Structure 1
Amino acid sequence: MRDYTKFYIGGEWIEPKGAKTLDVINPATEKPAGKISLGSESDVDAAVAAARAAFDDWRNTSLDDRIGVMSKIIETYKSRASDIAAAITEEMGAPAWLAEGPQAMSALGHFMTGIKAAKDFAFEEDYGASRVVKEPIGVCGFITPWNWPINQIAAKFAPAMLTGCTIVHKPSEIAPFSAYLFAEVLHEAGLPKGVYNLVNGDGPTVGAAIAAHDGIDMVSFTGSTRAGVDVAQKAAPTVKRVHQELGGKSPNIILEDADLDKAIKASVSGMMANSGQSCNAPSRMIAPNSKMEEIVKRAVEAAEGWTPGDPASAKMGPVVSEAQWDKIQGLIEEGVKEGATVVKGGHGKPEGLETGYYVRPTIFANVTNDMTIAREEIFGPVLCIIGYDTEEEAINIANDTEYGLAGYVHSGDIEHAREVAAKIRAGYIYLNGAQMDFTVPFGGFKRSGNGREFGRHAFDEFLELKSVAGYAPAA
């Protein structure tokens, strides 16, 4: 049992001001794996005070020195990566291959990309006689999710830290173990006191306190659109910047000229990985009716390889919690009621997996875009296949959603794929199974959020612009 009941504030592990604790449930066993403390507004006040006290020194530290600290963090993180991967498996059920690979290793990608971006970033630019200076925004509040716990922490931490900001962080109370280990890494690497502060707790208490706090200059939130709206409303009275990466219901257009073998395998893998718990998952496959029978058959065959089981050895683990399992089951039932056809999986737990929050990899055919399962973010291993007759219809279906986080296009002709991608209203488009690139901006249109993460574009979220007129009179 992990006992992670202290908070990391001002460079020290301290006792929380309240006495409430919360058991963290291992979703594979349905048993407690550890406990954390639930913070209070007073704990947030203490963390903000520490971050505020550290800000002036940190913002005045040279960029070379901040890069040096980040380099030490990278080396320390490498030595703890296996511990962090094990924590991710325990807290949110990621199978070992995923936890040890993309889940844990993503942090190193963000750190190294951040260093390169910092070296190339123009913190000062001249416009005739004037200079524009980009300065750190101040104390940043992070509220991060459970589905890619370390990835989302690192994606925010790297640009904030390298631009000279200080941080108050609330990880998800559902999956807080990896964040605790992340704080240990920062401490061991010698990050100055107060630059990063960790307070565990729930959204209505600690999350709300961070969003509303007068001493926090911006808040970066990743989670559901509903929760993002709440964060923005609580932040509004203090006129702080709010950066949000929210939900998605990403379209995946299979064009008539696509290589079906490659396209369907990539699409099903993208949907089933992480048990479907990715905001950018290709959850709506938009496929030509002329090839529908073959596409459905191939999708079912591809899903056969995604067998749930013990995260230590299986390709797919459980979903994160009982509440998430219940939500997914309810939406599967709704899909059946509304007339979609289950061609793979369906309601209930997989045979032989009565313990653990396991979901049967599920594929719906005969889905129309007005069905609940095509409108709502299911956040589980549930793929909806929607038919189209013309390419124009496919693009209209793709854009007929309140979300705009990601989109996918498969075509045998790259120029054709590019033309269709240009018509999709989403922030990140993947062509022909391309992998995510940490050097380009990630974020959404519409109700999928605002602002961008990853690479140099993320730096702008943590900087204020200062114009100095008459800086160079001779000009």
Structure 2
Amino acid sequence: MAGLEDRRKFYIDGAWVDPAAPDDLEVIDPSTEEGFAVISLGGQQDTDRAVAAARAAFPAWSATPPAKRLAHVERLLEIYQRRNDDVARAMTCEMGAPTSMSRADQAGAGSSHIATFIDAFRDFKFIRPLGPHAPTAMTAWEPIGVVALITPWNWPMNQVTLKVVAAVLAGNTVVLKPSEIAPLSSMVFAEMMAEAGFPKGVFNLVNGDGAGVGTQLSTHKDVDMVSFTGSTRAGIAITKAAADSMKKVVLELGGKGANLIFADADDKAVERGAKHCFYNTGQSCNAPTRMLVERPLYEAAIERARAVAENTRVGSAHDEGRHIGPVVSKQQWDKIQDLIQTGIDEGARLVAGGPGLPEGVNRGYFVRPTVFADVSNDMTIAQQEIFGPVLSIIPFDTEDEAIAIANDTPYGLTNYVQTADGARRNRLARQLQSGMVEMNGTSRGRGSPFGGVKASGRAREGGVWGLEEFMDSKQISGWDPDA
């Protein structure tokens, strides 16, 4: 593997160390289909070593005053902001986020989450009174122990910072297993953790795949919690693997978001929804991939979505500009192509895009921005998470019908509502079965937790809720409030 960047080492107990046994894997640039780096996949010895380091570091780190833990994270934020472009370059190469988007959004998500956790932690009360009715009853929030963090390839730093920063602020020690498809940005992050001065063993990184290191962490007797983001299939497997050791398992999984657009929605609602679907080349669990449109607006919405798809430029992730890059791998490309073809075969009307590479492209895992109309909610493309730039448009006639269609899915991550009727918005927000509802293009507030229900898992990541996710609550009676 001459000429490839050598990133075979793991970060364990405060040092970069060689794997116990070599098991090389090329990291592929999805824009070129060529390898650009080599990592090693960890084995049981590597996992055991990382968990042992975290276990040894836990007593001292959990007893470290919160102000000192916070100071490390504040230093981490300074380093992260300085190295933002290093993180962005890694993600552009490993998972195909276009250069401009990678700098601003992919890398920017990390610094944003770190800053939000800093604010939330400053006001966090580790011991709180239950209430005026029970003056000697208290609730204490305490770290869980050694936490395994398993993160995905589609938003690497978004998920790494949501997990690592919350976990270590809470007083836990961690072992991170990033996606083996997109591991380089996490290795840059490990360099930042080292520079920020976290004590040895507080943060450890072992590369590996799900069947190897992922399973080893999920079943490890000395791991107290697993926090996983990825597919529902893998989340089920992790839950089963972790059951024998009774560890806490927190899952942030897939989605099939519905975007309910009523006839009184603003003029940009359809365009906004289609662009959001194609954003990050459709590789977001909260993408609004089902566009439900009230019948009077239906045909106009189809034409607007078609225009968005046809005007969405597809190009190399290494180019500057507002375009979408490739999907992450040949495996993902093949899956998306199969689902597009399934949509055609099941009778959906292909409005834009379709199978194959975009015009003028002969290499790279690029997908044509695709729009289907006349989709019924029982079709495969309306039920399965495609994880590519594919939009399904479904008509509805009544509010109740829209709710029924939106909720008719195994998933429940994010739903979207577009209407000028405030009372209707409020009704829908309560009736839609999802962990999040975003309306009229208004983003969730800073510090709002991210997570879903049903097959989307029930994690709550970010802000105060994200800190509490990595703690156990202890109920205490007979507390002396004057002591």
TM-score, shorter chain, exceeding 0.5: yes
Q: Where do residues 168-179 of structure 1 align in structure 2 (5 Å cutoff)?
A: 168-179=175-186
Contact in 1 for aligned 2:179/2:209 (Cα 8 Å): yes
Partner of 1:205: 212
Equivalent of 1:185 in 173, 192, 195: 192
Partner of 1:73: 76
- How far apart are residue 384 of structure 1 and its match? 0.2
Equivalent of 1:60 in 36, 60, 63: 63
Amino acid at match of 1:224: S
Q: For residues 76-110 of structure 1, what are the alpha-carbon distances to aligned partners after superposition, in whole Å with 9 as ceiling and x for unaligned?
A: 11111101101100000001121001100111111
Equivalent of 1:389 in 389, 397, 405: 397
Contact in 2 for aligned 1:264/1:302 (Cα 8 Å): no
Equivalent of 2:312 in 306, 309, 315: 306
Partner of 2:18: 15
Q: For residues 89-144 of structure 1, what are the alpha-carbon distances to aligned partners after superposition, in whole Å with 9 as ceiling and x for unaligned?
A: 00000011210011001111111110111111221012422322111001100000
Secondary structure of residue in 2 paired with 1:373: helix
Secondary structure of residue in 1 paired with 2:395: strand
Equivalent of 1:222 in 216, 224, 229: 229
Amino acid at match of 1:76: I
Distance 1:414 1:158, change over 3 A: farther
Partner of 2:337: 329
Asked whether 1:455 is paired with 2:458, we answer: no
**Structure 1 runs of 4+ with >3 Å offset:** none
Asked whether 1:279 is paired with 2:279, we answer: no
Asked whether 1:47 is paired with 2:55, we answer: no
Return the alpha-carbon distance in structure 1 between the equivalents of residues 474 and 294 of structure 2: 52
Q: Which moved more, 1:127-136 or 1:341-350?
A: 127-136
Return the alpha-carbon distance in structure 2 between the equivalents of residues 135 and 262 of structure 1: 46
- How far apart are residue 363 of structure 1 and its match? 0.2
Matched length: 474
- How far apart are residue 367 of structure 1 and its match? 0.1
Secondary structure of residue in 2 paired with 1:418: helix
Q: Where do residues 312-351 of structure 1 align in structure 2 (5 Å cutoff)?
A: 312-314=319-321, 315-351=323-359
Contact in 2 for aligned 1:130/1:472 (Cα 8 Å): no
Return the alpha-carbon distance in structure 1 between the equivalents of residues 190 and 454 of structure 2: 33
Partner of 2:262: 255
- How far apart are residue 4 of structure 1 and its match? 0.7
- How far apart are residue 441 of structure 1 and its match? 1.2
Return the alpha-carbon distance in structure 2 between the equivalents of residues 399 and 337 of structure 1: 25
- How far apart are residue 303 of structure 1 and its match? 2.1
Percentage of matched positions with identical amino acids: 49
TM-score by length of 2: 0.96
Return the alpha-carbon distance in structure 1 between the equivalents of residues 93 and 301 of structure 2: 36
- How far apart are residue 474 of structure 1 and its match? 8.3
- How far apart are residue 193 of structure 1 and its match? 1.1
Secondary structure of residue in 2 paired with 1:364: strand
Return the alpha-carbon distance in structure 2 between the equivalents of residues 289 and 416 of structure 1: 17
Contact in 2 for aligned 1:245/1:449 (Cα 8 Å): yes
- How far apart are residue 473 of structure 1 and its match? 8.4
Partner of 2:367: 359
Return the alpha-carbon distance in structure 1 between the equivalents of residues 297 and 482 of structure 2: 68
TM-score by length of 1: 0.98
Return the alpha-carbon distance in structure 2 between the equivalents of residues 435 and 213 of structure 1: 38
Contact in 1 for aligned 2:309/2:353 (Cα 8 Å): no
- How far apart are residue 468 of structure 1 and its match? 2.7
Unaligned 5+ residue runs, structure 1? none
Unaligned 5+ residue runs, structure 2? none
Amino acid at match of 1:101: A
Partner of 1:242: 249
Equivalent of 2:85 in 71, 82, 85: 82
